[in-house]
Each structure stands twice: as structure tokens, then as C-alpha cells.
Amino acid sequence: MSVDAKTVRRIGNLARIKIEENDLENYADELNVILGFVEQLNEVDVDGVEPMTSVTPMALRRRQDKVDAGGYADKIVANAPLSEDNFFMVPKVVE
């Protein structure tokens, strides 16, 4: 894939970036170099390689998914600046 000045202008428009006319060719050349590197990655043989989520092997911590009755609303609102009947109270913002 080759990027030309028209494509750079369109990318700049979509990204809401002002690109001067005399810079279009420079940006096109830079984008072509980047795309050339990405095309080189297609040459790498990745058959049998498992996808990774991290560079170090790790397992997610898991907890039991159980229903809890709660019963500690007073602890939840303990640090609230203002509460009433275990509900947060906030200033009125709509007239």
C-alpha cells in the first residue's frame, strides 16, 4: 500500500490536524516507511504461537461469585459528608 498526498490530506482532515501543503509529501514518505515496516511483520512465521495478553505468564485472581445480603449500608455512608437514613445527600443542582 502506498500513501500519497491526497491520502495524507484526508487523514489530516479526519484527525482534525492542519497539515500545510508543503508538508504533505514529507508525511506521505514517513507513512510509507511505517507501512513498509508493518508489511515486513507479515513475513514472520507465527504458526503455533499462542496469543499473549502479557509478556510474563500470569493468572487472574479470582473470587467466589456469591450473593451477599449486604447489611452494611452504615459503613458505606460513614465517610459521606452528609447522609440520611443510609442514603447519600447531595446539594440540589436542578431548579
Tens digits of per-residue pLDDT, 19-39?
999 999 999 999 999 999 999
pLDDT at 61: 85
Map the chain to HEC letters: CCCCHHHHHHHHHHCCCCCCHHHHHHHHHHHHHHHHHHHHHCCCCCCCCCCCCCCCCCCCCCCCCCCCCCCCHHHHCCCCCCEECCEECCCCCCC
pLDDT at 24: 95
pTM: 0.51
Residue 84 has pLDDT above 80, yes or no: yes
